[in-house]
Chain A
């Protein structure tokens, strides 16, 4: 089945530094990738939608300059948290799907998530 690999699974960084999280689709071409943020004991909040080769579409309230998303290839999307601060500490999860024409439930495949802790 479809597999999405997310790396790193855990990262600790100092305040003010930038952190990059990678999301790779291992056995399919992901035309669309989604980035979610999950606070402790809460649901997933969609941050942005990225389509290969185009700029990401950010949800309302998400800072584009803070959370840089790149989807340069059909198998890789990256999320860079720039100038990280303790309030950016969270669990970040990516998901990927292939876009097909017409109706049909394309199942999103989720990565295992990346826990970011900013000191």
Chain B
């Protein structure tokens, strides 16, 4: 069984400040981990993914995440927030083949303060 916990349903940061969205996972098999972004009334867009290999993963729009097995975490960061980053962010986990169904976290709504 797999599960994802996103700490903080709402996060607010000032424009230009560091963005940190937290994600912890539980998995009985080596996990594949994903971060998705959702804008209002739209589907999900993949930001980045971790499969194997390098634990620091870089994604689109300046986001990156680090897989820490010892902490079972996959936190999402961005050095400098932009107004366009305001959206809902979902962390997700799947099994080692990656094409299996995703288990999503409850999401974190990111608000950018001008």
Contact = CB atoms under 8 A, between A and B. Distances in A.
A43 B42 contact: no
A73 interface: no
A44 interface: yes
B44 A34 contact: no
Contacts of A93: 43-44
B96 interface: yes
Nearest to A45: B104
Interface residues of A, number: 29
B43 A99 contact: no
B79 interface: no
B84 interface: no
Contact of B102 (A41, A104, A108, A111): A108
Contact of A97 (B49, B52, B99, B104): B99
A100 to B, nearest CB: 7
Contacts of B45: 110
Nearest to A4: B43
B31 to A, nearest CB: 10
Contacts of A60: none
A43 B32 CA distance: 19
A112 B2 CA distance: 26
Given A43-B107, A44-B104, A99 B99 contact: yes
A108 B104 CA distance: 13
Contacts of B34: 107
B60 to A, nearest CB: 12
A32 B99 CA distance: 8
A61 interface: no
21 contacts: A6-B43, A32-B99, A41-B107, A42-B107, A44-B44, A44-B90, A46-B102, A91-B41, A93-B43, A95-B43, A98-B99, A103-B98, A104-B97, A105-B49, A105-B94, A105-B98, A107-B98, A110-B45, A112-B42, A113-B43, A115-B41
Q: Which 8 A-B pairs have the closest CB atoms?
A: A105-B98, A106-B99, A110-B43, A105-B51, A110-B44, A112-B43, A43-B106, A43-B104
Interface of A: 4, 6, 32, 34, 41-44, 46, 49, 91, 93, 95, 97-100, 102-108, 110-113, 115
